[in-house]
Amino acid sequence: MAEGRNQKSGGALGRALNPGLLSGITFPHWCSLLWENRFRINLRYLPRALSITLSSVANSATGTWEEWRHGKKWRAVEPWAPVFVIGLARSGTTHLHNLLCTHPGLAYPSMIECRYPLSFLTLGGTVGALMKSLLGGRRAQDNVAIGPGTPAEDESALIALGARSSLLASSFARSGEHYERYRYSDGFDKEEARAWIEALRTFCGKLAWWHQKPLVFKNPAHTAKIPFLLAAFPEAKIVFIHRHPHDVVRSRQHAASTVAPLRRLQHGRPLTVDRLIGLVGDSIRHYLRDRELVPRGNLVEVAYEDLSSDPVGTVERIYRGLELPGFEQGKPALEAYLAGLGCYRKNRHAELPESVRDSLLKKCPEWFNESGYTQKNP
């Protein structure tokens, strides 16, 4: 029993100190964010703010060293056109990304590379051990295994490299409306758009130089930023995964209650279901509008339900649709990974009330119509 209490206490300490989304930013960038938010940090989150401060000082020093030591090398690299997995959060993007990343001929941004994009070459081993203890081995929202070397989404890397992000709203809740506009490509001004695109190209270039392989990225936040992806990489390959709206909203409600506390620096209003429906509906509408910009043959859409029932067949369809080589070469590793998931259990969520289901259908008809979903009955 004492051991259990110690583990729980250690977990609480790790959550309090984990810099999370802001792990990789530099000290000047951190000071700029604090100034922008008038240095308003709630007392409860001061340990996290202190952790970010210490991390930012280390990032500034090691980032300067890495730029001096290797910057010319990775900036001279022209990366292969990456594959981007997009889709609403809780639509299966992580599962699909993990499946694609099993291929030995492909590389992906790892957790440590995404959290510390400026300094992972220098701090990788040291920070990796610390990160392993802070992460706890499983994601809070869905129990998916995570660690310093597992595939991760690149949003924290882009923030560290100077890009604006809607996820900053989860840290600075009082400025939520200000940061939420960065959820969509048309919410950026010209200079902010340039900085975002430059951050993505810089991160891709460094990873391409380091891994010497084509890259596979995943980030739900890119779903409404197709123009930026294409501006950075005109020949980018894009995989959009969709899931039944009811299941996405149920899962997002759970994730909001488990992930948001791990990022907070300020208290803020909880995410209401009406607000959630509005956000996901806007993201879907931006995607449906902008997908027409993707060159023919560079976009494949898949359903989460198909990925769950036939993962190997769905991945093969992605390879065929995007004309990616090497499916048969990577198939054994894919099947081995799937075999290792036998003990994984998905979260179970309560059914949505009828009023919420009706609101979803009314406010997001495109989501249902484009993907062929119908209203579910509990």
In a domain, 376, yes or no: no
Q: What share of the chain is helix, strand, coil (3-state, %, to 5)?
A: 60, 5, 30
Distance CA 320, CA 360 (A): 33
Q: What is the pLDDT of residue 352?
A: 86
- Going by their DSSP bridges, the two strands 216-218 and 299-303 should be labelled as unpaired
In a domain, 378, yes or no: no
Length of the chain: 378
In a domain, 355, yes or no: yes
In a domain, 238, yes or no: yes
Q: What is the pLDDT of residue 10?
A: 37
The average pLDDT across 148-169 equals 94
Q: Are 48 and 141 in contact, with CB atoms under 8 Å apart?
A: no
172-214 pLDDT per residue, tens:
999 988 999 999 999 999 999 999 999 999 999 999 999 999 9
Q: What is the pLDDT of residue 252?
A: 84
DSSP state of 161: T
Helices (H), 212-272: 226-232, 245-259
Q: What is the pLDDT of residue 34?
A: 97
Secondary structure element (H or E) that encloses residue 217, with its range = strand 216-218
In a domain, 209, yes or no: yes
- Locate the DSSP E strands across the chain: 83-86, 216-218, 237-242, 299-303
Of the listed ranges 36-40, 54-58, 256-260, the one predicted with least confidence: 256-260
Terminal-to-terminal C-alpha distance of the chain: 40
Look at the chain and report how many structural domains it folds into. Answer: 1
Report CA 154 to chain centroid distance, whole Å.
6
Count of CB atoms within 10 A of residue 346's CB? 11
Q: What is the pLDDT of residue 271?
A: 79
Q: What is the pLDDT of residue 202?
A: 94
For the chain, give the longest Cα–Cα distance: 60
- Rounded percentage of the chain residues whose pLDDT exceeds 70: 87
Whether pLDDT at 14 is above 90 = no
Whether pLDDT at 231 is above 70 = yes
Q: Are 255 and 271 in contact, with CB atoms under 8 Å apart?
A: no
- Which two structure tokens, joined as six digits, stand for 244? 């039944």
In a domain, 62, yes or no: yes
- Going by their DSSP bridges, the two strands 237-242 and 299-303 should be labelled as parallel
In a domain, 377, yes or no: no
The average pLDDT across 126-142 equals 59
The average pLDDT across 43-52 equals 94
Closest by CA to 286, choosing from 166, 378, 191, 198, is: 166
Whether pLDDT at 129 is above 70 = no
The average pLDDT across 250-260 equals 77
- Going by their DSSP bridges, the two strands 237-242 and 216-218 should be labelled as unpaired
Mark 84-102 as b/e (b = at least 16 C-beta within 10 Å): bbbbbbbbbbbbbbbbbbb
Q: What is the pLDDT of residue 130?
A: 63
In a domain, 84, yes or no: yes
54-79 pLDDT per residue, tens:
999 999 999 999 999 999 999 898 88
Count of CB atoms within 10 A of residue 236's CB? 20
Secondary structure element (H or E) that encloses residue 86, with its range = strand 83-86
Q: What is the pLDDT of residue 145?
A: 67
Distance CA 184, CA 287 (A): 10
Domain holding 342, by residue range, is 2-371
Q: What's the sign of the alpha-carbon dihedral 192, 195, 201, 202?
A: negative
Q: What is the pLDDT of residue 315?
A: 98
Q: What is the pLDDT of residue 144?
A: 61
Of the listed ranges 53-62, 131-140, 192-201, 214-223, the one predicted with least confidence: 131-140
The average pLDDT across 89-102 equals 94
Whether pLDDT at 2 is above 50 = no
Q: Are 253 and 98 in contact, with CB atoms under 8 Å apart?
A: no
Q: What is the CATH number of the domain that holds 283?
A: 3.40.50.300
Q: What is the pLDDT of residue 182?
A: 97
